[in-house]
Amino acid sequence: ARDAEVLARCGVIASMQPHFDAEWGGEGDLYDARLGKARAATLNDFAMLAKTGVALSFSSDAPVTPIDPWSTIRAAVHHHQPTNAISARGAFAAATRGGWRAGGINDGLTGTLTPGAPASYAVWEVDDLVVAGSHEKVQRWSTDPRSRVPALPDVSPGADLPRCVRTVHRGQVLYDRDAG
């Protein structure tokens, strides 16, 4: 945590791959077997980094882990060490705006869907949208419709994750599932 505070003061952006924890972080998995339980429990501590002010950027590290942003978000939210997990909203920000910021673009628009922002986005087919707080106390107010917290796809284990329908970069369609 002390090192994380230094990283935060220096403005470091942590480029992390939550799939690593999902693939190798559980009891008896690779980290546990190679590094031991005590060290494995400290790896990929997204919550600690976020709490100390380190900006997060999530990616896949393909081809080591799949390019699948919603399962990346799921992995960050459902870390094998619950205290290391972050909220779906925080994981979504790290998987979207975080990547732009890590690439040196921090103009307040890029990576958001707001008027005036570059038109780079993905369209997803989603089964269920939910509003979920990161903690039981937050859950009580954030799920109240009056809080106006936008819903996100359900990333709980076992839920069907969104499917990509279209990607657009700077107004140009790169992928269209229905185009044939």
Please tell me which residue, 108 or 148, carries the higher pLDDT value.
108
The boundaries of the domain holding residue 29 are: 2-179
φ/ψ (deg, to 5) at 36:
90, 155
Q: What is the pLDDT of residues 51-107, one digit of tens each?
A: 999 999 999 889 999 899 999 999 999 999 999 999 999 999 999 889 888 999 888
Helix-helix angle 69-77:88-95, to 10 degrees: 140
Structural domain count of the chain: 1
Measured from the Cβ of residue 141, the count of other Cβ atoms closer than 10 Å reads 11
DSSP state of 82: G
The pLDDT of 113-139, averaged and rounded, is 76
Q: Is the pTM of this model over 0.75?
A: yes
> How high is the pLDDT of residue 1?
82
